[in-house]
Amino acid sequence: MNELSPPPDNGVLVHEHPVDHQSVQTPVQSKGRAGRTLLAFLVITLLVGTLGYGFWKHYTVHAEVMATANARRDFVPAVRAAAVRASEPFRVASWPGTTEAFEQANIYARASGYISKRNVDIGSRVKAGDLLVEITAPEIEHQIAQAEGTLTQLRATLEQAQAQRELAQVTWDRDRKLVQQGWATLQQGDTDRLTLQARDAAVSVATANIVAQEAQLRVLNQQKTYQSVTAPFDGVITQRNVDVGSLVQADAASGTFMFTLAHADVIRIQLYVPQDDAIGVTPGTQAVVRVPEIPGRDFPGSVARIADALQPGTRTLLTEIDVPNPEHTLSPGMYCRVELKIPRKAQSLIVPSEAIIFNRNGLSVAVVENDTARIRPITAVRDFGTSVEVSTGVAAGDRVILNPQVDLTDGRKVTIRPDPPKPDQKKS
């Protein structure tokens, strides 16, 4: 029981109830709760504001991206383009070569003896039949005299054999009738008949000996002719190995090498043309020879002969080119560059290298058709650096995009940028 408080002074009786100390709030506690409520409200407001800003930012970026994508989708790029042109009817190919004399011969001694006279030296120009050297061989004169004496003796032997044959013929003609009539024995007839046959054989032997001796005499006379060495053709002496007094030998295997004679009025050049260029090379194909030491001068020529068969190891065609050289400007043994003008078997097309697209799909180009880019695969034949020769994929007159952008797709709308005016046009 709660005790009753003394009555107030005003005389009013008041009944008191029990007091709940927990429900009674002090001013400090009320103020703290209000602060927490305000803080929570601020946090929630900040969070909502942040989320709203994020959503707004995301929407703005998305709108910009969509606007950029739409603009890019609707954007028509201006591109540079060049026309595809047909290749020339002739294809020019160049290879290194070495000049050679059209004719060249190493001149050997055909008669043994000493050089008694020499009329030429290195650089001498000679005509066919000109005397180069003379060889002295006295023993050949003696051999010729001996052979002529033997020939005279053999001819006398032939006359003797012919006389004996005539005697045997007369004897046989007389005795044959006697044998037939029985006035001479058969043995006598056989002896006369066989004697005539022996005389005929003796005449044949003597005749054959004369023929053999005459042939031997011709050999000796030919050897005498070989003592005078003459030029076999027009040309120039490029090498000399003998002088007056030199001993030369006329051996077939180890004869003395005296001179080298070269005919350089026409220069011959041998080339080994690769298979891809050899297809169009034929006799008569035009050629131009250039020598680095003679700048600004072209020496025209033509293919004179080809091997008609490729070398199995190198797949090249042996080709010979003849170049007229009347002024002897070209010398045998010079390094040169040979340019062949080869007719094309099939026409090809020339595309600028800037238009080539290379990716995982291979080589292709972008062709402009009705202001639309069309990607076409191509087949490259030869790369010339600034241009590429192709065989399929494009046609002459097609306009291909130069330096196409990476994301260029088939069917993309494009517009061709006009070419800038040339300097001459600007001045005008």
HEC letters along 179-212: HHHCCCCHHHHHHHHHHHHHHHHHHHHHHHHHHH
**pLDDT at residue 323 in the model:** 93
Q: Which of 175, 198, 226 represents a domain boundary (last residue)?
A: 226
CA terminus-to-terminus distance, the chain: 126
Contact 279, 306 (CB under 8 A): no
pTM to 2 decimal places: 0.56
Q: Which of 226, 248, 272 is the last residue of a domain?
A: 226
| Tens-place pLDDT, residues 371-406 | 888 999 998 888 888 999 888 888 888 999 898 888
Quick check: is 244 in a domain?
no
Answer yes or no: is 403 within a domain: yes
Q: How many domains is the chain partitioned into structurally?
A: 2
At residue 137, the pLDDT reads 86
Instruction: Please provide residue 401's backbone torsions phi and psi, each rounded to the nearest 5 degrees.
Output: -80, 130
Per-residue pLDDT, 352: 92
Residue span of the structural domain in which 177 resides: 138-226
3-state secondary structure of 225: helix
pLDDT of residue 15: 44
Burial class (CB in 10 A: 0-12, 13-18, 19+), 51: exposed
Read off the tokens for 206. 């003597």
Question: How far apart, in whole angstroms, are the C-alpha atoms of residue 198 and residue 203?
Answer: 9
Contact 276, 344 (CB under 8 A): no
CATH number at residue 146: 1.10.287
DSSP strand pairing (415-416 vs 78-83): parallel
The total of other beta-carbon atoms located within 10 Å of residue 282's CB is 11
Would you give the distance in Å from CA 226 to the centre of its chain?
46
Is 41 among the domain residues? no
CB 75 within 8 A of CB 339: no
By the 10 Å C-beta count (0-12 exposed, 13-18 middle, 19+ buried), 217 is classed as middle
Confidence at residue 1, expressed as pLDDT on a 0 to 100 scale: 40
Positions in the chain whose pLDDT score sits under 70: 1-32, 69-75, 252, 420-428
User: Is 193 within a domain?
Assistant: yes
Q: Is residue 247 part of a domain?
A: no
Q: For the chain, how long is the longest CA-to-CA vector? A: 233
Classify residue 272: in a domain, yes or no: no
Is there a domain that residue 265 lies in? no
Q: Which domain-ending residue is among 207, 226, 245? A: 226
Distance CA(57)–CA(59), nearest Å, equals: 5
Q: Is there a domain that residue 375 lies in?
A: yes
pLDDT of 174:
77
> Backbone phi, then psi, for 277, in 5-degree steps?
-100, -15
CATH number where 419 lies: 2.40.420.20
Let me know: does 367 contact 400? Beta carbons within 8 Å: yes
Residue 231: its pLDDT value, please?
94
Helices 186-225 and 138-181, axial angle in degrees (round to 10) = 160
Check residue 16 and give its pLDDT. Answer: 47
Per-residue pLDDT, 74: 58
Whether the CB-CB separation of 287 and 303 falls below 8 Å is answered with: yes
Gap between the Cα atoms of 216 and 277, Å rounded: 57
